[in-house]
Amino acid sequence: MPSDAILEGNVGHPEGDLRRIAAGSAPLRREPRAHSGLDTELLAGEAVRLHGAPEAGWIAVERLYDGYRGFVPADALGPHDPAPTHRVLVRRTFVYPEAEMKRPPRAVLTLGSEVAVVGTAETRGLGFALLADGAAIVASHLVPVTHRAPDWVAVAERFVGTPYLWGGTTADGIDCSGLVQLALRLAGQGTPRDTGPQERGVGTVVAGGSGEAIALPADARRGDLLFWPGHVAILVDDRRMLHASGHHMEVVIEDAAAAIARIASAGVALRTIRRL
């Protein structure tokens, strides 16, 4: 297991078996090698189905949540059971070897990661959630996996300042569609991983949808999704948008009209607005 493993147990990899991500996160690549393109990242606790045997330290998997397929490091996988009970709902939290915040942490989990909590402890008034091997996470950083964030846009806003990373889904780096999928997922709303399927199937079209250039409508509101070819942004209100921006190379909130004009000047027009 990797040094930042969250789940214990070294297991085989029979075809079709279920596993979970046991590292803080794991890259899902197009081909079984470290320098292959990063399609997405899988978070701790995510369930996958195995497809084939390990190849040079990599193994083909399918994420159960959305059917996304690719190759992950074989040593990033742990047992499928026990099922996670809690989810991280802060940008980052440490995993300590015991219920003591003065100990060097052994791993970092980011927002959306899931763990199986087996008990609780308190040290000098600080509450901890305990994992099966005695590792501990600050309890206030977790919520039950059944929790649904009441405002998915507020979840996305927690990523402001996060570096832009193509294929990223963590607080260390995230891309535009990964931000949308993760924020909606924590609110209990399923959505595809990539912008194309998101543009075709999330919510209902309120403007555009024919492929022609459109302007921001007067009735635009918080939570509306703005789509360009290969890009998506979230309206924070009727005049500002939030997105993981390849222009700024980070997650930003900026004036929507100015951003739409800037992107259009590069030859890419806003073409669809969808509402949940």
* CATH assignment of the domain containing 123: 2.30.30
Q: Looking at the domain assignment, is residue 129 inside a domain?
A: yes
Region 22-51 average pLDDT = 97
Cα–Cα distance measured from residue 241 to residue 7, given in angstroms and rounded to the nearest whole number:
38
Task: Quote the number of domains for the chain.
Answer: 3
Whether the CB-CB separation of 39 and 68 falls below 8 Å is answered with yes
Q: Looking at the domain assignment, is residue 32 inside a domain?
A: yes
pLDDT in tens, 93-124: 999 999 999 999 999 999 999 999 999 999 99
Shared domain for 159 and 174, answered yes or no, is yes
Q: Looking at the domain assignment, is residue 11 inside a domain?
A: no
Sorted by sequence, the CB contacts under 8 Å of residue 58 that are 6+ apart come out as 29, 32, 33, 71, 72, 73, 74
The 3-class secondary structure across 5-65, one letter per residue, is: CCCCCCCCCCCCCEEEECCCEEEEECCCCCCCCEEEEEECCCEEEEEEEEECCEEEEEECC
- Is the predicted pLDDT of residue 126 greater than 70, yes or no? yes
Q: Is 238 helix (H, G, I), strand (E, B) or coil?
A: coil
- Is the predicted pLDDT of residue 28 greater than 80, yes or no? yes
Q: Looking at the domain assignment, is residue 198 inside a domain?
A: yes
Shared domain for 75 and 139, answered yes or no, is no
Shared domain for 262 and 164, answered yes or no, is yes
Q: Looking at the domain assignment, is residue 221 inside a domain?
A: yes
Q: Looking at the domain assignment, is residue 174 inside a domain?
A: yes
Q: What is the pLDDT of residue 16?
A: 86
Q: Looking at the domain assignment, is residue 211 inside a domain?
A: yes
DSSP state letter for 219: T
Instruction: Provide the CATH number for the domain around residue 242.
Output: 3.90.1720.10
Q: How confident is residue 260, by pLDDT bands cut at 50, 70 and 90?
A: very high
The residue segments making up the domain with residue 240 are: 152-275
Shared domain for 191 and 262, answered yes or no, is yes
Whether the CB-CB separation of 42 and 48 falls below 8 Å is answered with yes
Shared domain for 195 and 264, answered yes or no, is yes
Shared domain for 236 and 137, answered yes or no, is no
Q: Looking at the domain assignment, is residue 233 inside a domain?
A: yes
- Is the predicted pLDDT of residue 9 greater than 60, yes or no? no
